Chain A
Amino acid sequence: MQLLWIDYLIVAVYFVGIVILGLYLSRYIKESSDYFLAGRILPFWAIGMSIVVSDIGALDMLGVAGQGYRYGIAVANFDWIGSFPAMILAAFIFVPFYWRSGAYTIPEFLGRRYNLSVRTAQSVIWILFIMFDLGVVFYGLGLLFQSLMGWDYWTAVLISAAVIGLYTFTGGLTAVVLTDVVQLVLMFVGGFAIVALGLWEVGGWNALVEKVTALGPGYERHFDLFLPADTATPYPWTGILFGLGLVMSTAYFVGNQTIIQRTLSAKNEWHAKASMLFAAGFKAFIPVLVVTPGLIALALYGTGIEDGDTVMPMLIKKLLPPGMAGLMFVAFMAAMMSSLDSMLNSISTLWAKDIYQQFLNTQASDTDLLRVGRLFMLTALIFGVATSRISELFDGMYVYVQTLLSFFQGPTLALLLLGIFWKRCTPWAGFWGLLFGVATAGAMSFFADRIFSIEDPFLFVSFWSFVFTLVALVGVSYVTTPKPDKQLHGLVYGLVMADSDMQQALRERANG
């Protein structure tokens, strides 16, 4: 792609601007809660925009466009039914509970509700997952800019790591969230530019529908959100409704540390709830940005593209006039950086609060936590950069790690749901329920060929692992001892409502 001086200028302004913003915000970091939870002063709109942009990375922009090319608009289910209902449930049930409990992390909340074993298991899983994910995202970043801009792999990775490291290290969650706001705007501008130019090239929306459906019988459902229950694709309506709509999306928006940590930084309970609903509004537009390019590519290039992930770069090269490459570069860069900074901030919080403070230094002062969190953030950053090339050697590693994480989603949701709504649910039921749920998810995935008729049945696996975990939680709860009520105040729905003193304390807290 031909780069002009204006492209380099846009990129330079972006890098310098983001670093200055991050460094400026570092003046507000006085203690660990400032660093990990932005001092709990953030407004709903900033948190909401940060949630959206942390959820969508550049790899998603490439991958989902490829899925849209292959399966059509059914992929949009992940941002529509896979977001709206879950975000409403999160806003009105889970987020207020987390926010009032004063917890920094989801594992910390689970630890208070169940026991230290559940907390540690959850923390270790998340830390390992994020560590692996960092390397994969850096690898994707290096490759993307190598192919799009002709940059050297290590130059791209090291420059972006330095920029992200600088503002995340100094500014903490405040810098992460506020730079995310800028990054969301850039992503939307870049994404809509591609879609608008693509639709112009195709001849408009109606022409797009006509051209794609005319490609043959395999493409007549490319504009249907509902695919038959016996479809060979991974997206039958049963999987979308039960697996994605009821379990996976809810688990993601109520149990994902990188998402929930933002809501915990809200300045009061209303802003915490509103942030989720505000984010849902933006999520409506995400499929327009990431799925439509796949359909546009289908109309422009036909069915001959083997690797769907190349669709977006092909469109950029074909559609963007000289001078706009810098804008697209910045949009991708923003998507990558917003995912990386969120992961780094979350992993430092998990390490400092759930591992360091629990096992390595139980008497840790606030200054210790701040120092350790920052140091671990740097360690994770260096680990991510150093291991980025490993993804090249082990092609299936990312998929393997992602699959393993998906085993925990259904069980974690079951733990959160019963933990909040059923005071009889015991600590050991939480631990054994988690293990049982993960084991059944693993077994179903292992025997997927014998049990399921669809390709890649992760939606069904999530749903059934959730159901099996619920059964295990109830069963084990009846044969083990529950926590006394006084230890569950503020953690279980019925006890919050029953205790007038607690209600008063919560009201004061909710009012900031």
Chain B
Amino acid sequence: MVEYILDFRWAHDLSLSTARLFFMAYFILITVFGLSMSREYVFRGAEDRALWRDLRLWVIVIMTVQVSLYLYF
């Protein structure tokens, strides 16, 4: 029983397509987390409020690259 849990043997029967779904769910969760940051928090300390300084846009770019890589490979 201990090995079954610690060694993730419950996952041995899952397909790689299911694994990909887990990964995508994680990426979406992280993206939503990044986008949920308030405007005030994201710009705190910034010299100005130019669009490129909106760190939520940076999150979108980074996670788009991430999702694309994990869909392609």
Contact = CB atoms under 8 A, between A and B. Distances in A.
Interface of A: 73, 76, 80-81, 84-85, 87-89, 91-92, 96, 223-226, 228-230, 236-239, 241-242, 245-246, 268-274, 277-278, 280-281, 284, 444, 450-454, 457, 460, 464, 507, 510-512
A452 B27 CA distance: 27
A241 B66 contact: no
Most chain A beta-carbon contacts within 10 A, residue among B9, B45, B53, B73? B45
Contacts of A270: 43-47, 53, 55
Given A80-B70, A81-B23, A269-B44, A451 B7 contact: yes
A270 B34 CA distance: 14
B22 A84 contact: no
A289 to B, nearest CB: 15
A229 B65 contact: no
Contacts of B26: 81, 85, 241, 245-246
26 contacts: A80-B66, A80-B70, A84-B62, A84-B63, A91-B55, A92-B37, A224-B73, A226-B19, A228-B12, A229-B8, A229-B11, A237-B19, A237-B22, A238-B8, A239-B8, A241-B22, A245-B26, A271-B45, A273-B55, A274-B53, A278-B58, A281-B61, A284-B65, A452-B6, A460-B6, A511-B45
B16 interface: yes
Contacts of B43: 270
A306 B50 CA distance: 54
Contacts of B55: 91-92, 270, 273-274, 277
A281 B53 CA distance: 15
A86 B26 CA distance: 11
B51 interface: no
Most chain B beta-carbon contacts within 10 A, residue among A81, A272, A281, A454? A81
B30 A88 contact: yes
B40 to A, nearest CB: 10
Contacts of A464: 6
Range for the number of chain B residues in contact with chain A: 35 or more
Given A84-B63, A451-B7, A277 B69 contact: no
A229 B19 contact: yes
Query: What DSSP secondary structure best describes chain B's contact surface?
Result: helix
Interface string B14-31: 101001101100110010
B64 to A, nearest CB: 10
Contacts of A223: 73
A230 B59 CA distance: 33
B62 A88 contact: yes
Contacts of B42: 273
Nearest to A223: B73
Contact of B9 (A80, A444, A453): A453
Contacts of B27: 85
Contacts of B66: 80-81, 84-85, 284
A510 B7 contact: no
A241 B30 contact: no
Given A87-B62, A92-B37, 8 more contacts: A76-B73, A84-B63, A88-B59, A92-B33, A96-B44, A226-B20, A270-B55, A460-B7
Most chain A beta-carbon contacts within 10 A, residue among B7, B27, B65, B73? B7
B16 A237 contact: yes
A269 B45 contact: yes
Contacts of B19: 226, 229, 237-238, 241
A457 B6 CA distance: 10
A274 B58 contact: yes
Given A85-B26, A270-B44, A512-B45, A73 B73 contact: yes
A284 to B, nearest CB: 5
A91 B22 CA distance: 23
Nearest to A510: B45
A238 B45 contact: no
Contacts of B12: 228-230
Contacts of B47: 270
Contacts of A224: 16, 73
B11 A89 contact: no
A452 B7 contact: yes
Contacts of A272: 45
A372 B28 CA distance: 47
